[in-house]
Chain A
């Protein structure tokens, strides 16, 4: 069985602060895929990143970065120098090899205040 835990329900920061969203997962498979999605107020989930279990390199994309630690089963997401447009709900998700569906965490609501 899969499980994704996002322990932070809500995070509120002031613009330009950094914010880190935690994601811890459980799976019995050795091959799996981790995802982050952003859900802005408009409601449509937007794909941010997919990482497979064999690639532990950290990734940076603009102000976004991801830290994948297999040893602690975590895939954390950091927004550097946050902006008001970053305000959204962020979901972490997991799928096992050959699986067709994603299991989502409960989401973390990020509010960035001007």
Chain B
């Protein structure tokens, strides 16, 4: 596609359930990022992929969070045993090489944990 695509756009889940968030980056972009935006907060870095590898997972808040990327393209962010504090907008971004370049963002997934 022409831009970064994220699905679902909205997800409501019950506390304790697992959720999967999907990101389809711009074709040919090797670098992919996940950020989290909580209400009224800035963007919090979660994880960075270069190809299928994740050299920096330092932003993942706990071991309930994991992410993978396959085929150097689609990425999935999984949150296990969701908690209410996980409620936020999860934003995905991609860029050609990942070196001081501008990021292209998706519209995000609004996650609400009840």
A interface, CB within 8 angstroms of B = 4, 6, 33, 35, 37, 42-47, 50, 52, 91, 93, 95, 97-107
Contacts and interface: CB of A to CB of B under 8 A. Distances in A.
A35 B102 contact: yes
Contacts of A44: 105-108
A105 B33 CA distance: 17
Q: Residue among B42, B45, B56, B103 with the most chain A CB within 10 A?
A: B42
A37 B37 CA distance: 14
B7 to A, nearest CB: 14
Contact of A47 (B33, B35, B100, B104): B104
Contacts of A98: 99-100
Interface residues of B, number: 25
A52 B99 CA distance: 13
B42 A100 contact: no
B62 interface: no
Nearest to B97: A100
Interface string B79-114: 000000000010101000011111111111000000
Given A45-B93, A45-B103, A100-B31, 16 more contacts: A4-B42, A33-B100, A43-B108, A47-B102, A50-B100, A50-B101, A50-B102, A91-B42, A99-B99, A100-B48, A100-B98, A101-B45, A103-B45, A106-B40, A106-B42, A107-B42
A102 B103 contact: yes
A27 B45 CA distance: 17
B56 A104 contact: no
Contacts of A37: 105
Contacts of B107: 42-44
